[in-house]
Structure 1
Amino acid sequence: MSKTFGVQTTTDEVLEGIDLSGRRILVTGVSAGLGVETARALVAHGASVVGAARDLDKARAATQAIVGDFELTELDLASLASVRACADRLLADGRPFDIIIANAGVMAPPFGRTADGFETQFGVNHLGHFVLINRLAPLIAEGGRVVNLSSSGHRLADVNLDDPNFDETPYDPWVGYGRSKTANILFAVEFDRRHRDRGIRATAVHPGGIEETELGRHMSQQEMDALVASIRDAQEEGVPAFAWKTIPQGSATSVWAAVVADADAIGGRYGEDCGVAEVVEGEGVRPGVRPYALAADRAAALWAKSEELVGERF
């Protein structure tokens, strides 16, 4: 009988009874929060995990309790030079990956630019991972998976392919976040289309709202409280009230999509609460994914624009 998972499922509950020995997994953003818990849970069940982080000293401190086959590598997603150097090291090493979990990200910072001139959220959340994962594609084993961490925040904005870096339009941190999270889903859609013939599937997931992570570090407590209040006010009647998840609950959907979910069910799709989300239209806050985030033509157009921006074709 198959297990039933949901909103409160934790990583260890998802992986109960599963032996990941012989599986090699890359997880980005292992210096705090979801990345650390994701790596811990996978290693605890026998996987060999490579954790990528910008600040290796911070990552070492955050992951010191992980016991098993675990190593760190440097990765600054705000610098394509660092992204390419990380990919080059892993390619030179030559060992394949069964799974890549693109966990790292930023949320609603003040306007800024990456080392390469991209708006921070689009550059870090999307373009950095776009280059890293595409460069590592030859290392992904047949039957492997890519999991992009997106967010229900994708409903805040579709990608803007005419002005991705807010060069022409006023910057809004939440619009920027929404664009980048939509990009995470569209990237998974197109990567899945390009690689599924060799059994590699890609998906995007929403971890849920997790108060204890560093994702909200650019927000004051007052701003965070106001955000939660606005979400609750916008929720449709009959939808369960917004509630924070714990870090193990927030990491569960990533782990579920990576090793438990049916590949055909999640390939090119969007998951939340350890399940495949329904496509929803219209306003209001409720579970599901906006149609524009799964549109194949938008996914292909974003891919082409991303290649143009990073100066590299995949």
Structure 2
Amino acid sequence: MTGLFGATSTTDDVLAGVDLSGKRVLVTGVSAGLGVETARALVAHGAQVVGAARDLAKAEAATAAVRALTANGGSLELIELDLASLTSVRASSHALLADKRQFDIVIANAGVMAAPFGHTADGFETQFGTNHLGHFTFVNRIAPLIKEGGRLVNLSSSGHRFADVDLDDPNFEHAAYDPWLAYGRSKTANILFAVEFDRRHKERGIRATAVHPGGIRTELARHLEPGTLEAMVSKINSDLAAEGKPNYELKSVPQGAATSVWAGIVAPANEVGGKYCENCHVATIAEGQIGPTVEGVYAYALDGDRAKALWAKSEEMVGERF
């Protein structure tokens, strides 16, 4: 299964011949980029998709073409979810629980990257609060709706290599704030959350995994200064050229969303459960310092004890136990 797809595979490649009729999938962040493409691919193959977004008007405009894809019986409905507000998270999850319809897959896709220092509505550092705590609370609250044999896919990033989580100072109350450090912490948290969620739910046949979509030009880069992304790619390619290696290429959006649908639908559950995936395969543990174009996951992001500690700290921060 692993060898069938790779870095250049698209969502349509991964889902070729797959019939998702009768499957119900929740995808967060469907107002742009990967979220819209993930929803499109799923609906096109017959899935009933619930798309969550902070700005419903923006999501409606972004998914108009997706909602018109009804030939195979697929559908897309939108719900409001602001991950930077626990009030919104709780209201949205409460409505889904009251509705009682179950999900086969939950794809926690939404997020922010390299944001300037700030706080969520509940006082959490913006990136940790939005990328991790918002999803942590939302997913755990709707966990009873995930069917036996279902899956959770958390969108992480190779950015997890920037930093491990800091359980003593998650809100940068003592350390100097750095946007990439904060992003790294939040992306490591996404992986650790999947590790512990998988441990807690695999007896029900529910598996969780974290994925790196790859480098993609999407709205995720909206906080970067103009030219920053291009400069980063130029620096990477300069380093690669010095090593006699080919240039690094950004992925297209369909290529970036491929690993999410691969891990959620196509890959064997026991292969991806509790793991970190990239380029449509399970990543290996990286040894030593690795560059942004080299595959691999740092061991601290898959550490079971670290995952349990983050879970406890997260419960403490949001004021709920799961």
Give TM-score scaled by structure 1 length. Answer: 0.97
User: What's the counterpart of residue 57 of structure 2?
Assistant: 57
Asked whether the 8 Å contact 1:144–1:201 carries over to 2, the reply is yes
Alignment of structure 1 residues 36-185 onto 2, 5 Å? 36-66=36-66, 67-68=69-70, 69-185=75-191
**Mind listing any 5+ residue stretches in structure 2 that lack a counterpart?**
none
Q: Which stretch of the first structure deviates more once superposed, 180-189 or 1-10?
A: 1-10
Residue 208 in 1 paired to residue 208 in 2? no
Output one character per residue of 1:105-161: Cα deviation in whole Å (capped at 9) or x when no partner. 000011010000000000000000000000010000000000000000000000000
* Root-mean-square deviation (Å): 1.5
Report the residue type matching 1:23 in the other structure.
Answer: K
Output one character per residue of 1:30-89: Cα deviation in whole Å (capped at 9) or x when no partner. 000000000000000000000000000000000000123110000000000000101001
Picking from 210, 219, 222, the partner of 2:224 is: 219
**Mind listing any 5+ residue stretches in structure 1 that lack a counterpart?**
none
Report the residue type matching 1:100 in the other structure.
Answer: V
Q: Which stretch of the first structure deviates more once superposed, 214-223 or 146-155?
A: 214-223
- Of all paired residues, the percent bearing the same amino acid is 69
Asked whether the 8 Å contact 1:30–1:53 carries over to 2, the reply is yes
Give distance in 2, aligned partners of 1:256 and 1:201.
14
Give distance in 1, aligned partners of 2:79 and 2:48.
14
* 3-state DSSP of counterpart to 2:168: coil
User: What's the counterpart of residue 314 of structure 2?
Assistant: 306
Asked whether the 8 Å contact 2:2–2:267 carries over to 1, the reply is no
Report the residue type matching 1:133 in the other structure.
Answer: V
Output one character per residue of 1:190-249: Cα deviation in whole Å (capped at 9) or x when no partner. 0000000010000000000111x1000011232222222344456695765421000000
Give distance in 2, aligned partners of 1:21 and 1:173.
41
Output one character per residue of 1:163-189: Cα deviation in whole Å (capped at 9) or x when no partner. 001010000000000000000000000
Picking from 283, 289, 299, the partner of 2:297 is: 289
* 3-state DSSP of counterpart to 1:303: helix
* 3-state DSSP of counterpart to 2:97: helix
Asked whether the 8 Å contact 2:2–2:281 carries over to 1, the reply is no
Asked whether the 8 Å contact 1:234–1:284 carries over to 2, the reply is no
Give TM-score scaled by structure 2 length. Answer: 0.94
Instruction: Give the 3 Å change call, closer, same or farther, for CA 239–135 of structure 1 in structure 2.
Output: farther
User: What's the counterpart of residue 4 of structure 1?
Assistant: 4
